[in-house]
Structure 1
């Protein structure tokens, strides 16, 4: 009678000559009939028996995943590549930086969490990593971002059956204090007198039209730098936003707009339309209409790429000094546009659409302080509301 083959869900435990205990699990047979085995090691028989029982339970439930040498750092690199088609380059760079806090191997340092095998990581390792970052002075908001990215990283490994379980599944994200959760202001709003002083100081500057554009339309810096003349519809008086020129490393990179709602048509005020048309017509005379339409509205020195993303920052700082006003960021010009619109009663949904926010809630959160000031003016007596007394002017 032939020798009985060991079943797929059976295992054995034995002791080696060196005293170490070994558990052997049979996983079936290869195509050539040779058995497939997994070996589990431990210092005692009880330790190995527990490992064998656990592995056999996984086999019975269909959740068993064969061991492999993939490290956390290797998987993080692969995961970032998988995310590349769906993320903007700047967002991808931010993901790498934030993951690099927990996985130092991503920034060329270590050894750390990244040197561990992916399948070896336990909740305790994640907790220890976050604790170390907290000890180094990173605030809870940063720790929370790292936690969310790590959870997504390991969850994708579970989905692709590289892991049986996410080690962060049982952990809670770091608590963010109420102080940190308070909405941060997007920036300061220039007073009308400051806007006038800035525009006066910018007269004749190579980026005069650029700064006027941001103050008149609320475009993001990258959206304005990414404009070509073909994106400007002079007949309809609209600018079509379809790309952005963002900083990446020491240079710039073309990217898709920040959110789906960022792809939008923005109306051009009449006082901006005339200088825009004059610049365009000058380029048409120089190179012809077909070539001019493909040119950048704000070209760099060689004309091949737009202006370097850092140039507007440096230029604005010097213009603020010239104008005698406190320094502002380029983004503050966009913030000024949104604040001035709301202060003049333009509906929230219109402002949100113009700015290309992902939702009205974002606009409300960013400009809540402006809206609260406006609301204070809407305090009417009952007699005024029912028309018995003329309404008073708003405060």
Structure 2
């Protein structure tokens, strides 16, 4: 390792009309190709009229203290747009799912590159990023969008540090967002609405919807399902891939690769479909050409019209998955089982995002509680029937 060079720098006067003290020193920097270069750096200390040479020298020594103590790390001169195109996209994007790559590319092109593309990575600070995400929220974009921008910027600086193009701390790590407030009300189907919905749907879509309600599979997982993944012998469906916006790939997350029980009520329906199949690799649900259905077309052609007809215009594929999560636990399934069934990485996702309270079940539970309280915890009191909680209070 080369010996660290102690520097005092060059202190000199600059300017004729309004002279000022300037300090010059040499420091290492990272070239765009990743190699280390050395450059002359100027720094204006202050006006000659306000500072003596001794005072200017004292400020100069303080400026060079970190450099002389070995606390300085070379900074890259590469601008953000160049780093993204030359290093991030070719070396990081291939590790992502194609759908994630597309989303990241849209975010970079529309939001991040216009805002930070011309700035050097070393010149982008936490304050600039904080102002950026808050401005995006003030323009009408959602909390989720701002959180996505923050996370992608953090990933840019994380990879840049790992690959030697950024030596400072990650400026996106300290970004704070306002408290998240729900924008849209979450809905689930009530039990009596499920047969009504199934009754107005065309056969193929009806089977897909019923499968989604009984298993909690994502629509992309249903569209990617082939017969090789349906095991009638042990009554199991294996989720090994997903179909999203015209691309067949792996499931959304590692935990999404899972096995779920095959609902017995759907067994005869699926077996009849299986009889029309030539090979195990054939899709369970496919167009007349053998290609996967488009989830957006199914939504607007079948699901939305059915929802409007039944007075549930909010109906979509995601509401089916949320309905399954809620009814799964209502039927006695544990939160851990629901997490595994839905393929979530975190139990908090299952509980906080997908599971909604059922008012009628809450009412039944409150009335049971009223009986326990009235009978000092004994359930065998009052054989004529439990009084309502409202009667107990009166």
Task: State if a TM-score over 0.5 links the two structures.
Answer: yes
Task: Provide closer, same or farther for how the CA distance between residues 374 and 231 of structure 1 changes in structure 2, counting only shifts above 3 A.
Answer: farther
How far has the Cα of 1:40 moved from its partner? 0.8
* Structure 2 CA distance for aligned equivalents of residues 390 and 239 of structure 1: 48
* Structure 2 CA distance for aligned equivalents of residues 23 and 147 of structure 1: 36
| Matching of residues 164-243 of structure 1 within 5 Å | 164-166=167-169, 168=171, 171-176=174-179, 180=181, 187-204=186-203, 206-243=204-241
Task: Provide closer, same or farther for how the CA distance between residues 155 and 374 of structure 1 changes in structure 2, counting only shifts above 3 A.
Answer: farther
* Structure 2 CA distance for aligned equivalents of residues 46 and 255 of structure 1: 64
Per the normalisation by structure 2, the TM-score is: 0.75
How far has the Cα of 1:280 moved from its partner? 1.0
Pick from 65, 71, 75: which aligns with 2:74?
A: 65
Q: Given that residues 76 and 166 in structure 2 are in contact (C-alpha distance below 8 angstroms), is that contact kept between their aligned partners in structure 1?
A: no
| Matching of residues 313-352 of structure 1 within 5 Å | 313-317=299-303, 319-320=305-306, 324-327=310-313, 328-352=315-339
Write the deviation string for residues 304-324 of structure 1: whole angstroms up to 9, x where unpaired: x42223222123336506854
| Matching of residues 75-224 of structure 1 within 5 Å | 75-77=83-85, 78-98=87-107, 102-103=111-112, 105=113, 110=114, 112-166=115-169, 168=171, 171-176=174-179, 180=181, 187-204=186-203, 206-224=204-222
Write the deviation string for residues 53-92 of structure 1: whole angstroms up to 9, x where unpaired: 6466246425421543x21123344335544355433334
In the other structure, the counterpart of 1:293 is 280
Q: Given that residues 261 and 357 in structure 1 are in contact (C-alpha distance below 8 angstroms), is that contact kept between their aligned partners in structure 2?
A: yes
In the other structure, the counterpart of 2:381 is 389
Task: Provide closer, same or farther for how the CA distance between residues 138 and 335 of structure 1 changes in structure 2, counting only shifts above 3 A.
Answer: closer
In the other structure, the counterpart of 2:357 is 369
**Structure 1 residues 272-281 or 57-66, which shifts more?**
57-66
Aligned length: 358
Task: Provide closer, same or farther for how the CA distance between residues 24 and 203 of structure 1 changes in structure 2, counting only shifts above 3 A.
Answer: closer
How far has the Cα of 1:171 moved from its partner? 4.3
Q: Given that residues 222 and 245 in structure 1 are in contact (C-alpha distance below 8 angstroms), is that contact kept between their aligned partners in structure 2?
A: yes
In the other structure, the counterpart of 1:246 is 244
Task: Provide closer, same or farther for how the CA distance between residues 52 and 274 of structure 1 changes in structure 2, counting only shifts above 3 A.
Answer: farther
* Structure 2 CA distance for aligned equivalents of residues 173 and 360 of structure 1: 24
Find the residue that maps to 2:299 and give its secondary structure: helix
In the other structure, the counterpart of 2:341 is 354
Per the normalisation by structure 1, the TM-score is: 0.75
Write the deviation string for residues 97-121 of structure 1: whole angstroms up to 9, x where unpaired: 4455651x3xxxx3x3111121222
**Structure 1 residues 78-87 or 255-264, which shifts more?**
78-87
* Structure 2 CA distance for aligned equivalents of residues 59 and 152 of structure 1: 31
Instruction: Let me know the Cα RMSD of the aligned residues.
Output: 3.8
**Structure 1: any 5+ residue segments left out of the alignment?**
1-5, 28-35
